Amino acid sequence: MDISSFEDDLAAVQQAPRRLRRSPEAVRRFGSKAALYAAALRQGDPLADALAADIAGDSTRRIALAFEAALTEGLASVVEPPDSLRAFFDHVEATPAWLDREKLDAGGVSYLRLGPALQICMTAALAAGYNSAASVKPLARTRRFIDSAEPRARETGIWFFKTLRPGGLAPRAPGYQATVRVRLVHAMVRRALLRTGDWNEADWGAPLNMGDTSRGIATEFTTVPIDAARKMGYTITESEADAMHHLFRYVGYLLGVPESLLPQNQWQARELTALIDLTNDGPDEDCRRLIHSLLNIGPSDLPPPSCGTCCMAMSGFSRATLMLIARESATRRSSTSCRYRGRSRGCATSSARGQASAPPSRSPSPI
């Protein structure tokens, strides 16, 4: 290893929040990746943060309504968008050069094929996220996963199924909309936490920082559930695993994670997971509280995968059949309706014309 770059990387990790453990070993083993991760622990999401600030400061709610219109009909539908809205949507509407939409569908189908076991895998995934005192601080502060764990888990489940459904992440499709909305919710929570005045940035890093969000992408929503499914005896081939990671690479892109921290394949995700595990600060009382709430959620409290594709996945339909549905649903998506899939595109569009409420649809008020 180049000595000067080793020293630069070491200097960079020494600027990291105090939560980062074993930093010299991290630099020795992971080189500049350790420095990138350390910097991301301090980093919010400038594009979403600017938009959240504009929405919060706009008593006319015009920017919130413009956000709804851009989300459901595209930025081009908004007349004279404010700069923050334009910059945000320029980013989320851009198609990264690496994006392969067939692979997104293959990734979603690979999750859905796990059927009822997906719920167990995702419980494992949430639990894995609860082993870092610093990274759970936003959840411990908003308390939604503590005081109302069941509806909160259900909301994440609904987002997940919208995202996994074939075509779900196509421009303005339900999974795309839900994910972009989560990015704004994260920014609003970040803003609210910073305004409480007792956020300990020196110890924990930025609230909902990009290091923790990349951990969600590389570890909690991918590596952990894939490993959990394999431990239960499910076969997930290498190409299925890569497709699952590809789907989350794009989710991470939509959530504002910098490209340098978005794993390109399962091996890069495992490398980032190993770096995160090495430098992890370990659990505290907040983590124990969150785990306790998670374990008290009954199976019937999570959203049944009632959308057609999910039901078929539950009944053991083959991958080939689901891929066929993927192609068909891309053309039929707008006419379907389902209790757990939220409003159809048509409804969302009309709400954007006049009756949309300001995002997030439910404000993260407990802060």
Residues 6+ apart with CB under 8 A from 328: none
Binding residue for ligand HEM, selected from 138, 167, 225, 305, defined by CB under 6 A: 138
364 binds ligand HEM (CB under 6 A): yes
Binding residue for ligand HEM, selected from 84, 135, 177, 273, defined by CB under 6 A: 135
| Of residues 27 and 71, the one with the C-beta less far from ligand HEM | 71
208 binds ligand HEM (CB under 6 A): yes
144 binds ligand HEM (CB under 6 A): yes
CB neighbourhood size of 307 (10 A): 24
Best CA proximity match to 41, nearest among 113, 134, 131, 126: 134
Q: Which span (77-85, 108-116, 136-144, 237-245) binds ligand HEM, by CB under 6 A?
A: 136-144
108 binds ligand HEM (CB under 6 A): no
Burial 63-102 (b: 16+ CB within 10 A, else e): bbbbbbbbbbbebeebeebbebbbebbebbeeeeeeeebe
Joined tokens for residue 78: 């908004």
From CA 133, how far away is CA 139, in angstroms rounded?
Answer: 11
* Residue 300 per-residue DSSP state: G
Site for ligand HEM in 316-335 (CB under 6 A): none
12 binds ligand HEM (CB under 6 A): no
Q: For the CB of residue 181, give the shortest distance to ligand HEM in the complex, in Å.
A: 8
Q: For the CB of residue 332, give the shortest distance to ligand HEM in the complex, in Å.
A: 25
CB 366 within 8 A of CB 138: no
Integer angstrom CA distances of residue 364 from 189, 193, 201: 7, 10, 20
Binding residue for ligand HEM, selected from 32, 43, 131, 156, defined by CB under 6 A: 156
CB 134 within 8 A of CB 205: yes
Distance of CA 23 to the CA centre of its chain: 26
Joined tokens for residue 128: 């894995």
From CA 162, how far away is CA 174, in angstroms rounded?
Answer: 6
Q: Which span (182-190, 259-267, 281-289, 290-298) binds ligand HEM, by CB under 6 A?
A: 182-190
218 binds ligand HEM (CB under 6 A): no
x-or-dash pattern for ligand HEM, window 157-176, by CB under 6 A? Answer: --x-----------------
Sort 258 into a burial class: Cβ within 10 Å, 0-12 / 13-18 / 19+: middle
Q: For the CB of residue 316, give the shortest distance to ligand HEM in the complex, in Å.
A: 27
Report the largest interatomic distance among the alpha carbons of the chain, rounded to a whole angstrom: 60
* Residue 217 per-residue DSSP state: I
Binding residue for ligand HEM, selected from 82, 175, 205, 216, defined by CB under 6 A: 216
Q: For the CB of residue 182, give the shortest distance to ligand HEM in the complex, in Å.
A: 4
| Of residues 23 and 222, the one with the C-beta less far from ligand HEM | 222
Binding residue for ligand HEM, selected from 169, 217, 224, 275, defined by CB under 6 A: 217
Three-class secondary structure of residue 306 per DSSP: coil
Q: For the CB of residue 196, give the shortest distance to ligand HEM in the complex, in Å.
A: 13
Give the total of residues touching ligand HEM (CB under 6 A): 24
From CA 287, how far away is CA 19, in angstroms rounded?
Answer: 15
x-or-dash pattern for ligand HEM, window 247-276, by CB under 6 A? Answer: ----x---x---------------------
Residues of this chain that bind ligand HEM (CB under 6 A): 135-136, 138-139, 142, 144-145, 152, 155-156, 159, 182, 185-186, 189, 208, 212-213, 216-217, 221, 251, 255, 364
